[in-house]
A and B are shown apart, each in its own frame.
Chain A
Amino acid sequence: MIFFRIDYLCLVMPKTKYKFNPDSLSYDKVRLGVKELFFRFLAYLTASVIIAVIYWVIFASFFDSPKEKALEREVEQMTIQYDLIHREMANIENVLVGLQKTDDNLYRTIFEAEPIPDTKRDGGVGGVNRYESLEGYTNSRLVIETATRLDKIRKRVYVQSKSFDDLIELAQNKEDMLRSIPAILPISNKDLTRTASGFGLRIHPIYKIIKFHYGMDFTSPAGTDVYSTGNGVVIKCLSSKRGYGNHIIIDHGFGYISLYAHLSNFNVRVRQKVQRGDVIGFVGNTGTSVANHLHYEIKLNGTNVDPVNYYFEDLSPEEYERMIEIASKTGQSFD
């Protein structure tokens, strides 16, 4: 202990201090207390530490440590990886776009489903910033970009898989659909001689003005059988003296509705299920009609469509052409 102290004092105080003592008229050695020594030591220590730190900072700013070098290399490596991932994502996005195109243009067209709009496919969550935790780093932008892109891809893949599920269902319903869509003539029409007036602008037989004729007229003797043109359910079977007269409306599903007007009598009831070719009523001259005829309309998703395009089960292409010709020739409808 003493040794240490002497040694220490030798190191700290190379010179001995003296103080004049007026009593003894001599110079006494100045002895420092433990406390003073300690404080002095602390001061030296602090100064040395500060100098060391300054040295270290200066050194570190010019030279990297091996560990740092390794980390830097790692970061570089990560950035390259991120870039690679980005490129991969772009590829995946391209593939997805291709899938969407085939989905919209091929499958959905085949099954007559509405294409999925882009806004629904992208379907952003919006509002809340979901990448807040990733902000504030050197490479934040890159990371956030990647995360956003990944989220988008995930969303698109989800929508696409759902869409394919729908398509599978549609494909399974296809047979049903083919049986339900109106596809035959509503009355027997040998040599197309019963075709009277088609879809389009025609002179109204009573008002004598040009009005749009939303259906097709077939002239026929009163009491001729009227057939259901596809499988479906009778949703309306109304006896009336005005407008359509006695008329039947059949819901075929898949957005198709057909209407048979001016009937003399019914053969079905409301909510009855009918098959294609079933006799549902008989031709007549009821309602706003000037002669015995059947007025036949098809509605697809609520809008009237030209029924001439819905006889593909019955008519050959030549007959179809002839039908169009006959139907477009007449100037006046029977209403």
Chain B
Amino acid sequence: MKLQYSLIGRQIDNSLSSLSSFRLSDDVRYRPILDMDTIAESFRRGGYGGVDRYRDLKGYINSDLLISFRSKIELIKNMSNVQIESFKSVAERSAEWKREMDHFPGISPVSVNFRLGDGFKFRYKHPVLGTSRWHYGQDFRVPYGTEIYATGDGTVIESGWNSGGFGNYVIIDHGYGLRSTYGHLSEIKVSKGMNIKRCDLLGLSGSTGTSSGPHLHYEINQFGQHKNPIYFFNNDMSEEEFSEMIQAFGSKSKFR
């Protein structure tokens, strides 16, 4: 019996140490980077306190051993429960963050190796109308028929002809208050209400609407305010890397 008990005791110690290493990675690795508070040690250990719950085990020769075992097992139960709950919340949080990252319009709609046209600025002379007005987006000087990709996951909320000057255009709602607009397309490949993933084909570039030549007009709105799209993508990719990325996303996507 004693041998058995000591074996079990070793196992208990092992599981305690592995639990504490879980706790370490939880507290040090996952929670800090996801902006979550760490769980207090007292909360992890739980403990009911007060009432002597091991009264019925007292009075035997090996009472101490038994009681310490029982309390350790109790502790493991508590800690593992807390740990499971904590990991659940961490997984939830990380899925949430991942979802947000996927929906964030964080890439450029065409390869950044195309020349950038007019940026987000006040134009004193509109190239077609000749009047001065704000230019609320970023222009990419792409040739006619270049494929335009979605910059983040989201839902198509508008697609079709815009008489205001965008020509054939698509608006994607990414959630989190973010919307992106793609204007002057020659052909639209998505329809209103479609759920799309990042790097899905939206259409082909063109020169429809008030445009003086083939280009893509890319706009980003956050909570109804125009934002400078230049802050939503980096120019750190080559042409090959961009097409590689499109393919990598395309193989996962249900469209195309």
Chain A residues near B (Cβ < 8 Å):
193-194, 205-209, 211, 219-222, 224, 240-243, 285, 288, 290-293, 334
Contacts and interface: CB of A to CB of B under 8 A. Distances in A.
Interface of B: 24-25, 28-29, 31-35, 97-98, 101, 106-107, 230-234, 236-237, 241, 244-245, 248-249
A292 B245 contact: no
A220 B33 contact: yes
A327 to B, nearest CB: 15
Nearest to B228: A241
Given A193-B29, A194-B28, A206 B101 contact: yes
Contacts of B249: 208
A206 B107 contact: yes
B237 A207 contact: yes
Q: Which of A193, A205, A206, A240 has the most CB of B within 10 A?
A: A206
Contact of B32 (A206, A208, A221, A240): A221
Given A193-B28, A206-B106, A209-B245, A290 B234 contact: no
Given A193-B24, A207-B237, A241-B231, 13 more contacts: A194-B28, A206-B101, A208-B245, A208-B249, A211-B236, A211-B241, A220-B33, A221-B31, A222-B35, A242-B230, A242-B234, A243-B234, A291-B34
A217 to B, nearest CB: 10
Contacts of B231: 240-242
A241 B98 CA distance: 19
Contact of A207 (B28, B97, B232, B241): B241
Q: Which of B24, B33, B241, B249 has the most CB of A within 10 A?
A: B33
A206 to B, nearest CB: 5
B234 A288 contact: yes
Contact of A205 (B24, B25, B101): B101
Given A242-B230, A290-B97, A207 B107 contact: yes
Q: Across chains A and B, which 9 residue pairs bring their CB atoms closest together, nearest first?
A: A221-B32, A291-B33, A241-B231, A219-B33, A292-B33, A193-B28, A207-B245, A209-B245, A242-B231
Contacts of B24: 193
A205 B28 CA distance: 21
Contacts of A241: 231
B248 A209 contact: yes
Query: DSSP majority for the A interface?
Result: loop
Contacts of A207: 107, 237, 241, 245
Contacts of A293: 33
Nearest to B94: A291
Contacts of B241: 207, 209, 211
B101 A290 contact: yes
Nearest to A241: B231
Contacts of B234: 242-243, 288
A205 B230 CA distance: 20
Nearest to A208: B248
Contact of A292 (B35, B101, B237): B35
Contacts of A291: 33-34, 97
B250 to A, nearest CB: 11
Nearest to B25: A193
Given A193-B24, A207-B237, A211-B241, A242 B232 contact: yes
A290 B244 CA distance: 21
A213 to B, nearest CB: 12
A211 B106 CA distance: 16
Nearest to B241: A209
A219 B29 contact: yes
A87 B249 CA distance: 75
A224 B245 CA distance: 33
Contacts of A242: 230-234
B32 A292 contact: yes
Contacts of A243: 234, 236
Nearest to B244: A209
5 contacts: A221-B32, A222-B32, A285-B35, A290-B97, A291-B97
Contacts of B233: 242
A242 B35 CA distance: 20
A19 to B, nearest CB: 125
A291 B97 CA distance: 8
A287 B138 CA distance: 19
